[in-house]
Amino acid sequence: KVRVTIDGITVEVPSHYTVLEAAKEAGIDIPTLCYLKEINQIGACRICVVEIEGVRNLQTSCTYPVFDGMKVYTNTAKIREARKLNLELILSNHDRSCLTCIRNTNCELQSLSKKLGVNEIRFEGENIKYSIDNASPAIVRDPNKCVLCRRCVSVCSEVQNVFAIGMVNRGFKTMVAPSFGRSLKDSPCISCGQCIEVCPVGAIYEKDHTKRVYEALADEKKYVVAQTAPAVRVALGEEFGMPIGSIVTGKMVAALKRMGFDAVFDTDFAADLTIMEEGSELLERLKNGGKLPMITSCSPGWIAFCEKYYPEFIDNLSTCKSPHMMMGALVKSYYAEKEGLNPEDIYVVSIMPCTAKKLEIERPEMQHNGIKDVDAVLTTRELARMIKEMGIDFVNLPDEEYDEPLGMSTGAGVIFGATGGVMEAALRTVADIVEGRELDKVDFEEVRGLEGVREATIKIDGMDIKVAIANGTGNAKKLLDKIKAGEVEYHFIEVMGCPGGCIMGGGQPIHNPNEMGKVKELRAKAIYEADKSLPIRKSHKNPAIQKLYEEFLGSPLSEKSHHLLHTHYSK
């Protein structure tokens, strides 16, 4: 440990700390912009500058290491002037159309300007007018808003190992972009949206689907169905000022009904269905020497990563479509038949924590006879925007119930939203099937947690089932590389494209990215609380699922199931 004195306060901190970290220990707040703990500590914005006794020039506190006896000043006139000047220079070359910006009132640049007392901008940058990259089905890039903090670049490369964007050109022409002037659409981007979650401004955001949903809702000929993903219910409240980790399932359903959706279903139902199909597929592969390890296929960001970077693992992927795609296919077949609706008149809207789902619905495999399984995907943020625009008082809404029969789900369905949840849900069902009886065991704590890669061995009927879980594609890479090297062997693997799983998807409410660890914990806790509160917690016990097989599908992996619920991937 070393002793450091900051603004007269002495603290003892580990010798590997930076001045910024030491100041935090001393309870001193140094403003930052480009800083992203352990991911982007590059001192690019120079907002966090401080004075260090005996050191010439101001130094960036996020990069400067502490030393014993160090004396630091964070609040002198010189520092305040320098920070203000640096911010003004950033603002001088920034498209300042704040009132119409997607991040208006949730922008770090905006709050920093207020905090540092910037009330005039003395300079004008070159302000080159760039065109907006709108070609990707999931993500829009607006270089006019970019402040060159590089957080998105670091997350894309260091965390996700995707390397879709980088720094190009020099001077005023410097920008964050895919290489060779390409659009994101033609880059290695997997549409996970993790860049959006760390962008301090409105330079990168999801492709808007609100307009098409408003149009569908206004079209009297259309029967408009909403379905809500597991992870949305533990995050939507944040957009309305509710505490992180609030479970708002009932209010969300009520809001969707007030918005005019004809039916509101639960993607958790389809998650239960996924377990029936995927669990059966795993047992089939185990019995008949099929390709192992089997890897889950519900995260479209992960699927895109696998197709682009690890095509040799494509045959390991479960053939199951992701739950919301299964739901779309069922609404336009089973439900349409039951209700006497023409599938062409049905419009399915998925409310998702995910941006990659916007890419997924465009895949040519995700349609039948020219009719798309799902027509639109709204992120949690987009849904919140619509609720606000429609004047619905979300916080004070009474709870309402999902519609039948596709609104009934179990605890196994809801835990899909957190990393390890798909694995646990599968184990709850597979263990009962293999043992041929209903086991008392519901919780498989062995597969829970938030670490990037986890593994466990589960004993089922005397057999050792080896499983692994990875969240975030960078962690998936670590796991796949070990498998390729023959260092590890598994039967079943869950991969989710986003670190933490869907609760931390690229479509979720945006907070200060340096506080995301806490957000992740609270949302995960809420997911497991939601599971515990449900009367049925195993997918195969869902009576609506049992009825669906009796009335329509026959059995898991039946021909009809294959036609509607399974898919293939491209190498």
Question: Is residue 357 flagged as an active site residue?
Answer: yes
Q: Is the peptide bond before 343 cis (omega within 30 degrees of 0)?
A: no
Catalytic residue among 238, 281, 382, 424: 281
| Residue choice 60, 191, 267, 419 for contact with ligand HC1 (CB under 6 A) | 267
Q: How far apart are the C-alpha atoms of 381 and 401, rounded to whole Å? A: 22
110 binds ligand HC1 (CB under 6 A): no
Residue 513 interacts with ligand HC1 (CB under 6 A): yes or no: no
Residue with tokens 């998807």: 505
Of 145 and 357, CB closest to ligand HC1: 357
187 binds ligand HC1 (CB under 6 A): no
Judge contact between 277 and 557, C-beta under 8 A: yes
Burial class (CB in 10 A: 0-12, 13-18, 19+), 162: buried
Q: CB of 32: closest distance to ligand HC1 in angstroms? A: 30
Among 6, 19, 231, 510, binds ligand HC1 (CB under 6 A): 231
Q: Which of 357, 372, 520, 541 is catalytic?
A: 357
Sole binder of ligand HC1 in the list 60, 191, 280, 322 (CB under 6 A): 322
Contact 371, 332 (CB under 8 A): yes
Q: Which two tokens stand for residue 278?
A: 């995927």
Catalytic annotation present for 365: yes
Say how far apart CA 353 and CA 357 lie, in whole Å.
9
- Helix or strand or coil: residue 421? helix
Question: Considering the complex, what minimum distance in angstroms separates the CB of residue 157 from ligand HC1?
Answer: 23
Q: Which residue is nearest to ligand HC1 (CB)?
A: 502
* Cβ proximity of 281 and 287 under 8 Å: no
Does 357 help bind ligand HC1 (rule: CB under 6 A)?
yes
CB 322 within 8 A of CB 567: no
Could you confirm whether 502 is annotated as catalytic? Answer: yes
Instruction: Pick the catalytic residue from 318, 322, 350, 539.
Output: 318
> Any contact of residue 472 with ligand HC1 (CB under 6 A)?
no
Q: Does 328 bind ligand HC1 (CB under 6 A)?
A: no
Question: If binding means CB under 6 A, how many residues of this protein chain bind ligand HC1?
Answer: 19
**Residue selected from 137, 245, 500, 505 as contacting ligand HC1 according to rule CB under 6 A:** 505
Q: Which of 34, 45, 152, 502 is catalytic?
A: 502
Does the protein bind ligand HC1 through residue 58 (CB under 6 A)? no
Q: Judged by CB under 6 A, which of 137, 193, 323, 556 binds ligand HC1?
A: 323
What backbone phi and psi angles, to 5 degrees, belong to 273?
Answer: -65, -40
Q: Are 61 and 49 in contact (CB under 8 A)?
A: yes
**Site map 337..356 versus ligand HC1, x via CB under 6 A:** ---------------xxx--
348: amino acid identity, one letter: V
Nearest distance in Å: CB 201, ligand HC1:
25
The answer to whether 126 is a known catalytic residue is: no
Residue among 19, 253, 502, 519 that touches ligand HC1 (CB under 6 A): 502
Backbone φ/ψ region at 56: left (φ over 0), alpha (ψ -120 to 50), beta: beta
Active-site residue identified among 298, 306, 320, 354:
298
Neighbours of 433 (CB within 10 A): 16
150-158, 213-221, 224-232, 541-549 -> range binding ligand HC1 (CB under 6 A): 224-232
Query: What is the rounded distance in angstroms from the CA atom of residue 556 to the CA atom of residue 281?
Result: 9
| Paired strand residues for 466 | 457
Shortest separation between residue 346's beta carbon and ligand HC1, angstroms: 18
Query: Nearest-CA neighbor of 394 among 241, 560, 198?
Result: 241
- Report the SS3 class of residue 495: strand
Burial 344-381 (b: 16+ CB within 10 A, else e): eebbbbbbbbbbbbbbbbebeebbeeeebbbbbbbbbb
247 binds ligand HC1 (CB under 6 A): no
Per-residue contact flags (x/-) with ligand HC1 for residues 410 to 449, judged by CB under 6 A? ------xx--------------------------------
Strands 223-228 and 346-352: parallel
- Residues forming the active site: 278, 281, 298, 318, 357, 360, 365, 502
Binding site for ligand HC1 (CB under 6 A): 229-231, 267, 271, 298-299, 322-324, 352-354, 357, 416-417, 501-502, 505
